[in-house]
Structure 1
Amino acid sequence: MFFNTFSWKEFLLRKIISLLTVLLLVVGCENNKKSLEPITPEDFLIIAHRGASAYAPEHTIPAYEIAQQADADYIEIDLQMTKDGVLVAMHDEKVDRTTDGVGFVIEYSLEELKQLNAGRWYNSANPGLANKEFEDLKVPTLQEIFSHFGNDVNYYIEMKSPKIYKKMEEKLVSLLIQYNLIRANGELPKVIVESFNEDSLTRLHQLEPKLPLIQLFYFKEEATLSVQHYNRLSNFASGIGVNISSVDNDFIQEVQLNGFQVYLYSINNEIEMKKALNLQANGAFTNNPDMGISVRTEFEK
């Protein structure tokens, strides 16, 4: 009997301490909160990770087209930059994994990069999904992607390795302005930009304050953010992206109470997608956008 009473009191004390901690974080952040672009979706967002990369070579036009056909809320585009300053869609700093070339993207001019094959590797790795149309794919530039899809999709763009690319932020903003993409598409921003690099996001916010920005985090263990984190984020970010393995409901609620969205990566089966929905995050990255939308639809019934 004594043990049960003690456990209950201990539980209440922990919950009270947790609530007070959240309130203190919210107050600390509110004192420093600037006017940032809100992201206010009614639905849990499905973000096609590197396009519908389960079904086509990642970061190619077909991968983005399949994501569009699946009605993904956003297509995700990772950005690298050629040595002649052209933004291109590629996850890795090196071309080795997803083309038949070797070396760093920054060592290639655009003309040289366009000589590489960006689809044949997928057919070899996924014989059950192999497609002749993938055999001659090239690495697309960001401008080519914008020209191809225009206003028909929403774009979730990650700045990869901005420390090694001069004026990467300026080039991105210039293209977004050229294609009139710094605006809302109904209730959603047409473009959201994310990065692990806080300096790059801060630079983007200075260049274009209307652009919604997401600070990426990766936690090896339990996710946690301090008052200092929230205060810094309040200067430039509309939300955070974080690995699903590190979060629980308390963390997500704390982040949201501080005024930030939470997007989880990367989720590629129904069990994890249901977990993300039950956690009440604001969205998730998945290689399988059709699966994500199916699970979301069932969850909302």
Structure 2
Amino acid sequence: MPGEITRFVLKISLILAVFGASAPVLAEDMLVIAHRGASGERPEHTLAAYELAIDQGADYVEPDLVVTKDLVLVARHENELSDTTDVGSREEFADRRRSKTIDGRLVSGWFAEDFTLAELRTLRAKERLPGIRPANTRYDGLYQVPTFAEIVQLVRAKEAETGRTIGLYPELKHPTFLLQDAGIDSVDLLVTALREAGLDGADAAVFVQCFEVGPLRRLDRLVDVKLVQLVNTNDGPADEPAMRYGDMVSPSGLAEIADYADAVGVNMNLLFGPEGIPSGLASDAQEAGLAVHAWTLRKENAYLPPVLRRGTAENGTGDVLGMVTILEAQGIDGVFTDDPGLVVSALAQ
């Protein structure tokens, strides 16, 4: 297997040389960002997932933040709850099911902003990808939905235990929708929470990320923490219908992002062409003064390029070391991963 990895990286290097690109430079201290915690081994966005990620050596833990009816920041992948909790089986909440148009897409289910925190506390988390991660389903029903304050408390306890700095990397989910639909200002709530925790300064181990532009510009005026503009392979920011992510990752678009953000969080598919050849986005972003954080490295074959898959099972474990090596060769500054333990181990090699 190491020989296969070496040959693949050498192939990329040779192709770059042929096309006149500079030789790859290995990233120094690539950040390991635990995507929703160690979500490859525990149901995502649970205190258990965050704690395991920290124990495995993650530099940052990433909570996606939504808001309750009584204005409490809580961690869920989406404001719609049925994929990650048992709300759909709770008869007492059957009448809460409804449909909403979120960022131009019709979504049906149960929404965090329609529940108080006390009501959410009665729900239990479940594995979001049971077909890919059947082993995680044994933890279904064990964990509550955590608040952002509880995640901060956990991080501080683990810092005291380990003697190392552990960062927070929250993402604001659908802030414009929440403001327009429910009158909930999640930007203001997050700013207040960061200030109360003493985490609003430039030296805080905090990145705040969002797919939208306006909320990041507001945050840039309100706090000094590092900000990250998320970009995807299609569409554009929900709050800026005329903008497309494809234009935002052009050299001129990246220069505009650098006016208010410190990094770009990019879908890994934007970093490589169909044959695995680097797209140039990483170097363009870094020339604009932006760090590059790639998402999302998962161990399962289903999420890896064909050359790094091992066996034929979609949920089989592929070549994580190979993917880390390729990202390092591009000088990527950080990587989101569901499997921080494997990535930390790969970086050590």
TM over 0.5: yes
Match of 1:255 among 275, 281, 285: 285
CA-CA distance at 1:148 after TM superposition: 2.5
Return closer, same or farther for 1:231/1:291 CA change in 2, 3 Å cut-off.
same
- What is the rounded CA distance, in whole Å, between the counterparts of 1:282 and 1:218 in structure 2? 18
Match of 2:149 among 133, 143, 156: 143
Alpha carbons 1:76, 1:157 under 8 Å: kept: yes
- What is the rounded CA distance, in whole Å, between the counterparts of 2:255 and 2:40 in structure 1? 37
Match of 1:192 among 189, 198, 207: 207
1:38 matched to which residue of 2? none
User: What is the DSSP-based 3-state SS (H/G/I as helix, E as strand, rest coil) of the residue aligned with 1:171?
Assistant: helix
Is 1:170–2:185 an aligned residue pair? no
CA-CA distance at 1:190 after TM superposition: 1.1
Return closer, same or farther for 1:100/1:252 CA change in 2, 3 Å cut-off.
same
Which runs of 4 or more aligned residues in structure 1 lie more than 4 Å from their structure 2 counterparts after TM superposition?
Answer: 120-127, 129-132, 220-224
Is 1:237–2:267 an aligned residue pair? no
Letter of the 2:285 counterpart: V
CA-CA distance at 1:179 after TM superposition: 1.3
Match of 1:277 among 315, 322, 328: 328
Return closer, same or farther for 1:124/1:228 CA change in 2, 3 Å cut-off.
closer
Letter of the 2:112 counterpart: V
Q: CA RMSD in A?
A: 2.8
Is 1:75–2:61 an aligned residue pair? yes
Match of 2:344 among 268, 293, 298: 293
Query: How do 1:49-64 residues align onto structure 2 when only pairs under 5 Å count?
Result: 49-64=35-50
User: What is the DSSP-based 3-state SS (H/G/I as helix, E as strand, rest coil) of the residue aligned with 2:87?
Assistant: coil
- What is the rounded CA distance, in whole Å, between the counterparts of 1:125 and 1:257 in structure 2? 38
CA-CA distance at 1:172 after TM superposition: 0.7
State TM-score, norm by structure 2.
Answer: 0.68
- What is the rounded CA distance, in whole Å, between the counterparts of 1:164 and 1:239 in structure 2? 24
How many equivalent residue pairs? 259
Return closer, same or farther for 1:228/1:93 CA change in 2, 3 Å cut-off.
same
Alpha carbons 2:168, 2:207 under 8 Å: kept: yes
- What is the rounded CA distance, in whole Å, between the counterparts of 1:212 and 1:76 in structure 2? 14
Return closer, same or farther for 1:284/1:117 CA change in 2, 3 Å cut-off.
same
2:83 matched to which residue of 1? 97
State TM-score, norm by structure 1.
Answer: 0.78
Identity of aligned residues (%): 31
Deviations 1:74-112 (CA, angstroms, capped at 9, x unpaired): 001100111111110001120000101141111111111
1:28 matched to which residue of 2? none
Return closer, same or farther for 1:126/1:167 CA change in 2, 3 Å cut-off.
same
Return closer, same or farther for 1:234/1:125 CA change in 2, 3 Å cut-off.
closer
Return closer, same or farther for 1:220/1:62 CA change in 2, 3 Å cut-off.
same
Return closer, same or farther for 1:126/1:227 CA change in 2, 3 Å cut-off.
closer
CA-CA distance at 1:249 after TM superposition: 5.6
Alpha carbons 2:251, 2:288 under 8 Å: kept: no
User: What is the DSSP-based 3-state SS (H/G/I as helix, E as strand, rest coil) of the residue aligned with 1:266?
Assistant: strand
